[in-house]
Amino acid sequence: MRTLPRHIRGRSHRKLTATTGWRLVARVLYVVLASFAGLLLSTFIVYGSSVVAMAYEADRMITSAEKLANAALGCGDEDVDLSKTSHELVTSATKLRNELDGARWTIVRDHTSYGNDITAARTMLGAVADLVDGPFADLTSLSDKFGGFSMEDKTVDVSALLEIPGILHGAHNTISAKVTELRSLQTPSVPKVAGLVSTGASALESVDKLLTQYDDLVDLIPQLLGANGKRTYLVAIYNPAELRSGGGMVGNVAPVTAEGGKVTIGDFVVTSAYQYGTQPFDAEGVTEGAVFGDQVYRYPQTTTVNPNFQRAAVTLKNLWAAQPDNKGTEVSGVFALDPVFMQALIGATGNVTLSDGKVLDGTNAVKFFLSDIYTEHPDYKDQDAFTNESSKRIMSSVFSNVNASTASSVLRAVKSSSASGHFKVWMNQTSELEALVQTQVFSANVAGTLPNDPLNPTAGVYLTEAVPSKLDWYLDVDTTVNRTCGATFAASKSRLSDLVDAKPRSSLIRTIATKDLGDEYTVQVTLRNTMTKTQAKELPTFVTGEADPGTMQPRLFLMAPAGGEITSIAYETGDFVANGIVGGHQFINLRLTSGVKPESEVTIAFTVRVAEQATAPLNIVTTPVITAKGIYTGTNGVVTDQCAADVPDAKQDQTLAANGSAGSAANGSTNGSQAAQGQNGQNGQNGQTGQNGQTSAPTQDGSSAPVPGSGSSSDAAAGDSATPAPTLVTDGQNGQDPNAGALDSLDNFRSHLSCPVDLKSLVA
């Protein structure tokens, strides 16, 4: 072994050794640092690429969710492919969940303080994928199964809807499970993640609650669509241009059959083509005929002279079933529509182009079908054929354009129209109607029954046009109510109104004990004909009437409030036809014999005493009067009241008894002989009315007048008072829903989101 000479050992050797050691240490450190750097680089590559991939998928998922949310809420792109978009959302959510489920993120979960965040993210992604790939995908796939509706093929195949109950029940189960998972998570360390978990669970609970409100309706769908056997419904089209108490003349009726989810819409038949009735169909019809005249059971056009739709519908379906081709057919339900409802549907589902090129939308359909059609299609045969064809075209358009984007608007059109009396339903099985109302998609007013709450008294002024015409587009109605003050009833005075130059006559029928009657109100009704004398000469005679062109011949059916009575009435020229009880209410049948000529007006006045226990002022509802100015439905509870306290009924009752005894006795004979005379006298009028169907155009849709759901103040006021509050559900004085319904819940849900929805802002 070679060694250094002794003389060169020592200090230099120590220096060399130190240098060599430093290099060794440096190399070791280099290797260590290089290795650590490699570890960092590899970690970045492994986790960084994962983060980039997840960021990409997260963006795709959120974008897809935004499209679906906007389509569902009706504030997004109408051309969204729901199936494709939901598939993209599921794919992205699945890729995200699979990435987070990998071992690399399990290490982070198990060995860092972010374990709860990783678990929360995995759970939320799993919920998204399961919900979208499950019930939501099932629902969106239904749209591919619809057969479609066309004028050539009058049958629309909606059998896919029979699957909805199972899908919805599955959705409840899935949502419940996901909410339980989210609520059981340990609190994430990142506040934003913790907030998203809480928000997600609450949102799912809100959706579940919203869906629950449709459960009754959804469970009813198979039954209504004939899953258990063929069903027949009648669709009646009202024409408010020729008024009847319940809204308008029944111009056209079409049968709609449902069997196994396939719905077939029959032809709309003009009611003048019916074989007319000869006698009442039931005991109630006898009572109704004594007051309203035999027109309520003889002619389908005038069944709606009875303002109680539940009875008018029964009579109409009996008349339909009595026709030779319909005998033996059981009718499961009757749906009554008017132009305002149809306009609302067109506004919700899109414009309709008619065969003559006319484009109907959510603002012009009422005006067209109540006025313009008569000048644009003056020939009756052409008019009838055109309106029948237009009916099919409108229904085809509505059916084909109901989708996820329009569903909310369609349901709202149904609710607002049923609340305001422009859409009514009678069902042979009362439980089915109750189930429809309980969903609160249908207002309780959809039943069209008479108001029956003595605490919130409502009297009725129902109008029927006796002249075959379309004059009521030009009718203007003004109603005022004054509460009586002082020690003497207005019924005992010489005048009820400065506008009526006639002494009031007693109309007491004494079916209610005097001690049970409370405050008195004086009601003044002015009917104004806005048709000009020039129009009366130039418009077609089926608009103006033939005998005295332009002169309206309105018949008024005055209804006392529940527990109350109409005590007197004043009019200048008229025929007091009948005074009796129908459906627990006093009704007076008054015919204004002089009519209402163009550019003139007529006023009548009457006094009403409400029930002693009444807690609200008298409200007056009228037949919905639809004109170019809007929709008039009554006073909406407005009363002129300058009384400081309740009037002293006892003293007034004595005065009225003394002053009204003779009148009451005379009125008794009126109720008998004149009622009979009125019934016979109406037969002549009925002959005209019956022929009226020949000049009636089916009313299909809305108008330039305010439309339910359009947000106009005039319609909002009219909406809930247009039809008397039904007895199926207690809606309150003005027929408003006491609880928030499913649509209201949806509105509340939407109120927390911008429209269009921006989900990225929620997670930013």
Q: 555 and 486, same structural domain? A: yes
pLDDT score, position 435 = 84
Q: 463 and 425, same structural domain? A: no
The per-residue pLDDT for range 111-120, each reduced to its tens digit, is: 777 778 778 7
Least confident of 25-34, 179-188, 336-345, 746-755: 746-755
Which residues span the domain enclosing 57? 30-146+165-212
Higher-pLDDT residue of 695 and 32 is 32
Q: 395 and 479, same structural domain? A: no
Q: 443 and 468, same structural domain? A: no
Is residue 654 domain-resident? no
Least confident of 176-185, 494-503, 514-523, 640-649: 640-649
- In this prediction, residue 79 has a pLDDT band, given cuts at 50, 70 and 90, of low
Q: 621 and 477, same structural domain? A: yes
- In this prediction, residue 539 has a pLDDT band, given cuts at 50, 70 and 90, of very high
Q: 240 and 381, same structural domain? A: yes
pLDDT score, position 401 = 80
| Strands in 466-574 per DSSP E | 475-483, 505-506, 517-529, 554-559, 565-570
Do the Cβ atoms of 717 and 635 come closer than 8 Å?
Answer: no
Is residue 687 domain-resident? no
Is residue 671 domain-resident? no
Mean of the per-residue pLDDT values for the chain? 77
The per-residue pLDDT for range 462-505, each reduced to its tens digit, is: 999 999 999 999 999 999 999 988 788 999 999 999 999 999 99
The average pLDDT across 586-613 equals 97
Q: 387 and 242, same structural domain? A: yes
With H, G, I as helix, E, B as strand and everything else as coil, classify residue 527: strand
Given a cut of 60, is residue 18 above it in pLDDT?
no
Domain closes at, from 447, 479, 501: 447
Phi, psi of 489 (to 5 degrees): -65, 145
CA proximity to 516, closest of 449, 609, 606, 591: 609
pLDDT score, position 383 = 82
Higher-pLDDT residue of 714 and 17 is 17
Determine the distance from the C-alpha atom of residue 434 to the mean position of all C-alpha atoms in its chain, rounded to a whole number.
15
Given a cut of 80, is residue 358 above it in pLDDT?
yes
Given a cut of 80, is residue 520 above it in pLDDT?
yes
The per-residue pLDDT for range 387-417, each reduced to its tens digit, is: 877 877 887 788 778 766 677 788 889 989 9
CATH code for position 344: 3.40.630
Given a cut of 80, is residue 236 above it in pLDDT?
yes
CA proximity to 588, closest of 600, 602, 572, 571: 571
Is residue 358 domain-resident? yes
The average pLDDT across 351-355 equals 91
What are the DSSP calls for 307-368, one per residue?
Answer: S-HHHHHHHHHHHHHTSGGGTTPPP-EEEEE-HHHHHHHHHHH--EE-TTS-EE-TTTHHHI
Is residue 350 domain-resident? yes
pLDDT score, position 207 = 72
CA proximity to 398, closest of 437, 341, 333: 341
The per-residue pLDDT for range 368-392, each reduced to its tens digit, is: 999 999 888 888 778 878 887 787 7
How far apart are alpha carbons 27 and 141 in whole angstroms? Answer: 66
Higher-pLDDT residue of 617 and 206 is 617
How far apart are alpha carbons 736 and 730 in whole angstroms? Answer: 9
Question: What percentage of residues in the chain have a pLDDT greater than 70?
Answer: 70
The average pLDDT across 734-749 equals 47
Is residue 716 domain-resident? no
The per-residue pLDDT for range 130-139, each reduced to its tens digit, is: 776 677 667 6
Is residue 618 domain-resident? yes
Is residue 667 domain-resident? no
The per-residue pLDDT for range 249-307, each reduced to its tens digit, is: 999 999 999 999 888 888 888 899 999 999 999 999 999 999 999 999 999 999 999 99
Q: 468 and 435, same structural domain? A: no
Q: 241 and 190, same structural domain? A: no
- In this prediction, residue 66 has a pLDDT band, given cuts at 50, 70 and 90, of confident
Given a cut of 90, is residue 335 above it in pLDDT?
yes
Least confident of 176-190, 430-444, 459-473, 675-689: 675-689
The average pLDDT across 57-65 equals 70
Q: 290 and 378, same structural domain? A: yes
Determine the distance from the C-alpha atom of residue 445 to the mean position of all C-alpha atoms in its chain, rounded to a whole number.
10
pLDDT score, position 692 = 34
How many independent structural domains does the chain possess? 3
State the number of CA atoms in the 13 A half-sphere of 694 facing the CB: 7
Q: 115 and 173, same structural domain? A: yes
CA proximity to 81, closest of 127, 141, 134, 133: 141
Q: What share of the chain is helix, strand, coil (3-state, %, to 5)?
A: 50, 15, 35
CB 70: neighbour CB atoms within 10 A?
A: 21
Domain closes at, from 631, 647, 663: 647
CA angle 708, 712, 717 (to 5 degrees): 75
Higher-pLDDT residue of 216 and 148 is 216
Q: Going by C-beta distance under 8 Å and a sequence separation of 6 or more, which residues neighbour residue 84?
A: none
pLDDT score, position 88 = 77
Given a cut of 50, is residue 349 above it in pLDDT?
yes
Domain closes at, from 597, 618, 647: 647
Q: 113 and 65, same structural domain? A: yes
